[in-house]
A and B are shown apart, each in its own frame.
Chain A
């Protein structure tokens, strides 16, 4: 099992550009999440999904969109990137009480 994979690992965007962060899990988990981690802080929930076709907002959803067309994939879309979106983005999936995290995507918006 590869677990939770994320691409890309690093990305630099210019203000106003858009991009999609990819997340895939091969554990057949229904629950998936996107978090962001700002420097010196804990993780904050952006969006989550309880199954294919079902998504909901977390604590900090503004500036982001998600979709969940399959159990495996949960991409995060950034529209009109802003410097405030500079962060490390973690995707996770869960089964019962354990969350499995991907390695993270380090995004810089200049």
Chain B
């Protein structure tokens, strides 16, 4: 079974600091994809970053980077230089099966303080 676990229900970080949001996954497939989405209070789902299981380099997108440790089955999101606008729910997700559907974790609520 495919499973995504996010163990941090809530996190605080001070503005301009870096923060790491944890994500572990469980799959027996060799080919899979890992995603992070941001959901602000307005409710929309915003794609942040993607990591393929065969990608050798960790993915980066601006201030977002994905710390991919395949042997430990972890895909942590690192946000550098946090901004107040980063306050939101963050979801880790894994692509499952051949239909490209996503399996989501329960999310981590991030609050950035001044």
* A74: interface (CB < 8 Å): no
CA distance A35 to B93 in the complex (A): 13
B102 A31 Cβ-Cβ under 8 A? no
Q: Report the tally of A-B residue pairs with Cβ distances under 8 A.
A: 57
* B12: interface (CB < 8 Å): no
Judged by DSSP, the binding face of B is strand
Shortest beta-carbon distance, B10 to chain A, in Å?
A: 11
A103 B43 Cβ-Cβ under 8 A? yes
Which of B52, B98, B101, B105 contacts A45 (CB under 8 A)?
A: B101
Count of B interface residues, CB-CB < 8 Å: 22
Most buried by B among A42, A48, A101, A103: A42
A40 B100 Cβ-Cβ under 8 A? no
Residues in chain B near residue A31, CB distance under 8 A: 99-100
CA distance A35 to B35 in the complex (A): 16
CA distance A30 to B79 in the complex (A): 32
B106 A40 Cβ-Cβ under 8 A? yes
Residues in chain B near residue A98, CB distance under 8 A: 47, 50
Chain B residues 78-108 with CB under 8 Å of chain A are 91, 93, 95, 98-107
Closest 8 CB pairs of A and B: A42-B104, A101-B45, A43-B104, A48-B101, A45-B101, A48-B99, A94-B100, A42-B106
B44 A50 Cβ-Cβ under 8 A? no
Using an 8 Å CB-CB cutoff, how does the interface string of A16-54 with B read, 1 for contact, 0 for none?
000000000000000101010000111111001010000
Given A40-B106, A42-B105, A42-B107, do A99 and B100 touch, yes or no (CB 8 Å)? Answer: yes
CA distance A89 to B106 in the complex (A): 16
